[in-house]
Structure 1
Amino acid sequence: MTQKIDSKIEEAQNILEDLGLKKQYHNRICALTLLALSKIKPDDSWQDATKSNQIISKDIIEFVNKEYLADYQPNTRESFRKNALKPFVDFNIALLNPDNPSLSQTSSKTHYALSDLALETILSYNTDNWELAVKKFKLEQFPENSTDGILLSTINISSYKSILNDKIELGRFNVFIGENGSGKSNILESLAAIGAVKTDDFTYDGLSSRGVRFARPDLMLSSFLSSKQEDSIKISLEFNTKNLTKLFESTIYPANKSDIYTRWIDENKYPLEGINNDLIKSKIRQIIDEINNKADDLSVDSVLNKLFEPSGSVTADNSFDPYQKMLTEYAIFDLNTRSLRGITPSESRKTPLGLNGEGLDLLISSFNAYERDFLTQCEEFFKWLDEIITDKDDKNKGLGLKPGRSTSTLYFTDRFMLKKNNILSAENSNEGILHVLFYLALFISTKTPKLFAIDNIETALNPRLCQRLVMELAKLSKLRDKQVLITTHNPAVLDGLNLFDDSQRLFVVSRNGSGHTVTRRVRFKEDFKDKPFKISEMWMRGSLGGIPNNF
């Protein structure tokens, strides 16, 4: 009998591990709690699992004592609650008071039950469907984990700064290399520009809040010796999801080229597909009413200005348009250490993460258990790291653990230091972990943009760490349905790419003989896969291009 008991407990521990619980929750008490919630006895198959409401002392403890020959006393109730049931609830394996959610946790009637999703998954254990069942569990475990699979596949840019005319076919994880001044950042900015104009936010504040370097209109428009300057910027995008394609176009022109504060107008006010005719009619009706009431101001210019001005009462509702949402939330992140430490006041309007690293502590403190589990990857990157702490109430500040300049409530414990003084604040920790943690949070969270850019990802990072980080971020981009455009000047970043995976793409950006920014994708033939090579070395030798050759 003892052998059957140990075997069933081990199976329960394996289930907890496969469902993604941390190692600390693979212990005996967690395994026994899962068995009790599932009503699985030592001789039962997991296909016999059922769910029912259970009180800790009356049901769970009595079950494990009777069926698994344990000897837990009623005073161990808190151990079951804290060490097993709380993480089960956090991970949506169990539900707290499903019949009466408003019931206090300290009530004698407090009860727990398996979630429907957990029961459905457990019923597949030791079957051929287990792997698929676990995958489904992790996908549906938290509502925010759901994804739509939308990707931006193509960008066409005309007359934006150094880009006279360029077409780029993107993957999910895109890295751009090239000389300083080749136009890499201009590519990133073009997406922010169309995102701003679609929300009537093509202004200094609107663009700078997205990470764009704002300039006078005649400097935003391409200007080359070899060609006449165009009057407008043209950007078109193509999105793909499953078998569907969505097009966006913007032709943006300034009312006054020489006025830095002039209003920019988008000729393509709405997406090519799904134009909202009701909104257009409403806007025209509003203008006609105003003209009728004020006939003395009837002029062609006044009518046109009225037609194109932003309106507070008639606006497009894009809350249910995932494509528009991707564009409006797009931002270019360019980190600096003082912002990550919480020392520099936030100037970014972006939430939850600011463009320079603001808000990292608050975002991590809001992570659900599944998201939090991804952060354990930091332990692999930094061998000294023991734990990441978010001190919501900032109690550690009162203990003198930070000088007081920082507003960050983020702390780290060092496994090599004495336990009584091994807590480091964001202000005192090394800058590398803050940069890495920011990037991980950016990719992990569903609250951050789905489409975004990172300028100079290598800042503050060791070259070998850059390589490993890129490998992890490429993996996370698939798991968390993110799409990113990255610029770098560090060759080590390239060694983290797998260019035989079509979702990961490398582009070389350069200026042609006329000074126009042009982009070229780097591809390798399949028979190159088995040959030992480093992309970093190829870049440094000049085989890929994208390095200065004038000295």
Structure 2
Amino acid sequence: MIDSFFISNYKSIRRAALSCKRINVFIGEPNSGKSNILEALSLLGNPVFTDGMLSKQILRYKTLGDIFYDFNINRPILIQGGNINTALEYAVRENGVPENEFQLTITDGKTSHNHSPFKIGHNGELKGDGTYPDSAFKYYQYKRLDNFQVQFLSSLSTPFGENLPALLLSNEDYRAWASDFFASKGFNLTLKPAENEINISKIINNAIYSYPYQSVSETLQRVVFYMMAIKSNKNAILLLDEPETNTFPFYTKFLGESMALDKANQYFITTHNPYLLINLIEKTSFEDINVCVATMNDDYTTEIITLSQTQLEQVLDLNSDVFFNLDAIID
């Protein structure tokens, strides 16, 4: 668990710092920079490279210069959280000659560990492997997957959970939870180890009808994904960008309560959903929760405003109308 973070020169964030609690929720109007905060924090974890590219799906860029504040690549992106420090900067040789590429350096603040930087091209292509320290930061984002991967890890793999079948196969408690969850909908959980697949099945007149996991409703898939992220991690820092998207309100409330009651992990969450927000506030003591309003200032920079206990009580009073009255709360 980290006590604070600092971000500078990342997209709309010129400078931002926050004293952190166990649950940290970011709300605000669209394009206020909420997702930018989580994206920046994701760079404190293991960098996500997909097909040899720094993930464009997570960091949302066309060329790497897009993620620098005002596209100014002469100023490095600096991110600090706990003992992890990340710097993304334009690579320059010792003689001052630019290398026409960027370098991403992640260190843990220990002088005995020298971590070599990743070399990255303007389009995000990985040009040279680097090293990184062990990190508790984990960015999870639901994605409907066509195929899973065989990865026997103790937790759900980041960012998309490609090891879900292997995780369920290797852990009886997780398998029992998922089985009970689908049973509540009248289906049986079916695991196919040889094919590394998940099916759900129903029995009609002693005949078994199986359906691929890809055909399961998005709400149910999202609940399984985020619950496995919660259950399989311990002492992790979980970064969740609008986890309630496309989820039926009952399960949005359920996810909020599950996060609030989970004392084993720290959370950084963005949301536009009153059901998630209200349940997080109601189920978490004030000492354990930050609710922060992200605003876009006149100079197009993101500002983070942390709500007081009195303001949180206003949020609860407004209930589902809270997102229509953010200006009134912070004025």
| Structure 2 counterpart of 1:523 | 308
Which stretch has the larger CA shift, 432-441 or 165-174?
Answer: 165-174
Question: What 5-or-longer segments of structure 1 have no aligned partner?
Answer: 1-150, 239-246, 284-308, 319-323, 395-407, 547-551
Query: Superposed, which structure 2 residues align to 1:403-422 within 5 Å?
Result: 409-413=197-201, 420-421=207-208
| Structure 1 counterpart of 2:320 | 536
Judge conservation of contact 1:463–1:490 (CA < 8 Å) in 2.
Answer: no
Query: Superposed, which structure 2 residues align to 1:112-261 within 5 Å?
Result: 151-195=1-45, 205=52, 207-208=54-55, 211-223=58-70, 231-238=75-82, 247-255=83-91
In the alignment of these two chains, the number of paired residues is 310
What do the CA deviations read for 1:56-98 (whole angstroms, capped 9, x no partner)?
Answer: xxxxxxxxxxxxxxxxxxxxxxxxxxxxxxxxxxxxxxxxxxx
**Distance in structure 2 (CA, Å) of the matches to 1:424 and 1:172:** 39
**Distance in structure 1 (CA, Å) of the matches to 2:299 and 2:56:** 32
**Distance in structure 2 (CA, Å) of the matches to 1:504 and 1:527:** 10
The structure in which a higher percent of residues are helix is: 1
Judge conservation of contact 2:295–2:303 (CA < 8 Å) in 1.
Answer: yes
The structure in which a higher percent of residues are strand is: 2
Q: Does 1:355 align with 2:194?
A: no
| Structure 2 counterpart of 1:461 | 247
Alpha-carbon shift at residue 491 of structure 1 (Å): 2.4
Secondary structure of the structure 1 residue equivalent to 2:168: helix
**Distance in structure 2 (CA, Å) of the matches to 1:391 and 1:451:** 31
Change (3 A) 1:260 1:194: farther
**Distance in structure 2 (CA, Å) of the matches to 1:172 and 1:209:** 28
| Structure 2 counterpart of 1:336 | 143
**Distance in structure 2 (CA, Å) of the matches to 1:372 and 1:426:** 15
Alpha-carbon shift at residue 423 of structure 1 (Å): 4.6
What do the CA deviations read for 1:169-201 (whole angstroms, capped 9, x no partner)?
Answer: 22223322222221112111112223357xxx8
Normalized against structure 2, the TM-score is what?
0.75
Change (3 A) 1:270 1:488: closer
| Structure 2 counterpart of 1:378 | 181
RMSD value over aligned CA atoms?
A: 4.1
Alpha-carbon shift at residue 377 of structure 1 (Å): 6.6
Secondary structure of the structure 2 residue equivalent to 1:520: strand
Instruction: Answer with 1 or 2: which has the greater Rg.
Output: 1
**Distance in structure 1 (CA, Å) of the matches to 2:222 and 2:129:** 40
Alpha-carbon shift at residue 492 of structure 1 (Å): 2.2
**Distance in structure 2 (CA, Å) of the matches to 1:444 and 1:361:** 15
Alpha-carbon shift at residue 450 of structure 1 (Å): 2.3
**Distance in structure 2 (CA, Å) of the matches to 1:527 and 1:195:** 30
Secondary structure of the structure 1 residue equivalent to 2:279: coil
Kindly provide the amino acid, as one letter, of the partner of residue 539 in structure 1.
F
**Distance in structure 2 (CA, Å) of the matches to 1:386 and 1:425:** 12
Q: Does 1:441 align with 2:228?
A: yes
Alpha-carbon shift at residue 156 of structure 1 (Å): 0.7
| Structure 1 counterpart of 2:238 | 452
The share of aligned pairs that are identical, in percent, is: 21
Change (3 A) 1:374 1:474: farther
Alpha-carbon shift at residue 539 of structure 1 (Å): 2.2
**Distance in structure 2 (CA, Å) of the matches to 1:485 and 1:425:** 32
Secondary structure of the structure 2 residue equivalent to 1:325: coil
Alpha-carbon shift at residue 155 of structure 1 (Å): 0.9
Question: What 5-or-longer segments of structure 2 have no aligned partner?
Answer: 93-97, 117-126
**Distance in structure 2 (CA, Å) of the matches to 1:419 and 1:472:** 36
Q: Relative contact order, CA 8 A, sep 6+: which one is greater?
A: 2
Judge conservation of contact 2:12–2:301 (CA < 8 Å) in 1.
Answer: yes
Normalized against structure 1, the TM-score is what?
0.48
Change (3 A) 1:205 1:192: farther
| Structure 1 counterpart of 2:285 | 500
